[in-house]
C-alpha cells in the first residue's frame, strides 16, 4: 500500500490521528493510527483498522505537517507514536515517517505486536535495522506466552512477537511491555508467571503496563457486523488486577 514518491515521501494508509495522546508513550504525543493488522485479537477495540483498503491514503509529508502543528506541546519527553492497526505492516512507510520525525528532533515510539517480524527473512531484518535507527521506544504488546492460547486470542502465532522481543533486547532498544489482562485467557497465575519468566530474560524493559480488558469497543463490532467473541467475558476484578501487578511487578522498578 505504500510506495516511493519523491525521496522518502510515501503514500501511507492510515486510520486516524490523535493529537494529544497521553497513554501511548511518555508525555503528550501525536498518535498516527496506521490501517491494517494481521492479528484478529478477540478484544481488539479498533476492528475498523484491520483491513487494508478501508483507511485514508496520505503522503508522509502530509502526516508530518499535521504532527509539526503540535510540536510545541511535545515538551517533557513527548513526541510521536505510530500505532494501529499494526504500523509495521507498512514498514517502509513507518520508517520514512519516523526518519522525518527524527530530522525535526522529535521523540519517536512504535506501538506494535511484533507479529510481522521474521528473524529468518534477511531482507526484512535489514529493514528492521533501519527501523531501530529511527525509533526511540517500542511499546510491545505480548498477548499470551502460550502459542496455542495466543492463536485462540489473535488467530496468529506468538513466535514472531517473542522473537521481536529478543531482537529488541539484543540491540538494547528501550521497551515498554503491554499485556491485556483478560479473564479466562491471560488473567491466570500460571500464564502470568510464564510471562514474568520470559520478561526476566530481557534487560531492556523500562516499564510493564497491565491493561485490564474492557468492552468499550464492542459496539464497533455490531456496527461492522462482526461477531464479538468475548461478549460474555467480564473485565478483570480487583483481585485479578492485584495478582497481575504482584506477579509482573514484584521486585522490579519498571512497572506502570
In a domain, 169, yes or no: yes
Q: What pLDDT sits at residue 66?
A: 97
Q: How many domains is the chain built from?
A: 1
In a domain, 62, yes or no: yes
Measure the CA–CA gap between 9 and 226, rounded to whole angstroms: 35
In a domain, 101, yes or no: yes
Q: How many residues are present in the chain?
A: 256
pLDDT tens track for 164-219: 999 999 999 999 999 999 999 999 999 999 999 999 999 999 999 999 999 887 88
Predicted confidence (pLDDT) at residue 8 exceeds the cutoff of 70: no
Q: What pLDDT sits at residue 212?
A: 96
CA dist list (Å): 159 to 28, 60, 82, 131, 163: 32, 31, 22, 20, 6
Q: What pLDDT sits at residue 3?
A: 35
pLDDT tens track for 12-68: 999 999 999 999 999 999 999 999 999 999 999 899 999 999 999 999 999 999 999
In a domain, 104, yes or no: yes
In a domain, 3, yes or no: no
Q: Which of 82, 101, 69, 80 is nearest to 34 (CA)?
A: 82
Predicted confidence (pLDDT) at residue 111 exceeds the cutoff of 50: yes
In a domain, 256, yes or no: no
pTM over 0.75: yes
In a domain, 4, yes or no: no
Measure the CA–CA gap between 39 and 206, rounded to whole angstroms: 25
Burial class (CB in 10 A: 0-12, 13-18, 19+), 223: exposed
Enclosing H/E stretch for 161? helix 159-170
Measure the CA–CA gap between 148 and 140, rounded to whole angstroms: 20
Which domain does 88 fall in, by range? 11-249
In a domain, 254, yes or no: no
pLDDT tens track for 247-256: 999 988 777 6
CATH, residue 49? 3.20.20.70
Amino acid at each position: 500500500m505504500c510506495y516511493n514518491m519523491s525521496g522518502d515521501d510515501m503514500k501511507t494508509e492510515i486510520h486516524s490521528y490523535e493529537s494529544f495522546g497521553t497513554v501511548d508513550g511518555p508525555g503528550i504525543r501525536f498518535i498516527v493510527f496506521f490501517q491494517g493488522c494481521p492479528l484478529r485479537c478477540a478484544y481488539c477495540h479498533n476492528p475498523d483498522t484491520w483491513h487494508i483498503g478501508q483507511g485514508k491514503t496520505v503522503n508522509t509529508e502530509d502526516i508530518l505537517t499535521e504532527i509539526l502543528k503540535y510540536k510545541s506541546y511535545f515538551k517533557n519527553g513527548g513526541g510521536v507514536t505510530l500505532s494501529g492497526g499494526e504500523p509495521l505492516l507498512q514498514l517502509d512507510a513507518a520508517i520514512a515517517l519516523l526518519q522525518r520525525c527524527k530530522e525535526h528532533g522529535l521523540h519517536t515510539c512504535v506501538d506494535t505486536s511484533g507479529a510481522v517480524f521474521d528473524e529468518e527473512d534477511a531482507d526484512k531484518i535489514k529493514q528492521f535495522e533501519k527501523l531501530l535507527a529511527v525509533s526511540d521506544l517500542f511499546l510491545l504488546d505480548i498477548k499470551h506466552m502460550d502459542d496455542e492460547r495466543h492463536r485462540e486470542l489473535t488467530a496468529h502465532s506468538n513466535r514472531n512477537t517473542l522473537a521481536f522481543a529478543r531482537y529488541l533486547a539484543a540491540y538494547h532498544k528501550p521497551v515498554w511491555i503491554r499485556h491485556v489482562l483478560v479473564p479466562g485467557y491471560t488473567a491466570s497465575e500460571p500464564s502470568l508467571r510464564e510471562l514474568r519468566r520470559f520478561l526476566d530474560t530481557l534487560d531492556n524493559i523500562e516499564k510493564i503496563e497491565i491493561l485490564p480488558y474492557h468492552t468499550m469497543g464492542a459496539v464497533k463490532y455490531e456496527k461492522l457486523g462482526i461477531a464479538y467473541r468475548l461478549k460474555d467475558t467480564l473485565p478483570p476484578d480487583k483481585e485479578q488486577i492485584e495478582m497481575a501487578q504482584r506477579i509482573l511487578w514484584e521486585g522490579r522498578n519498571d512497572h506502570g
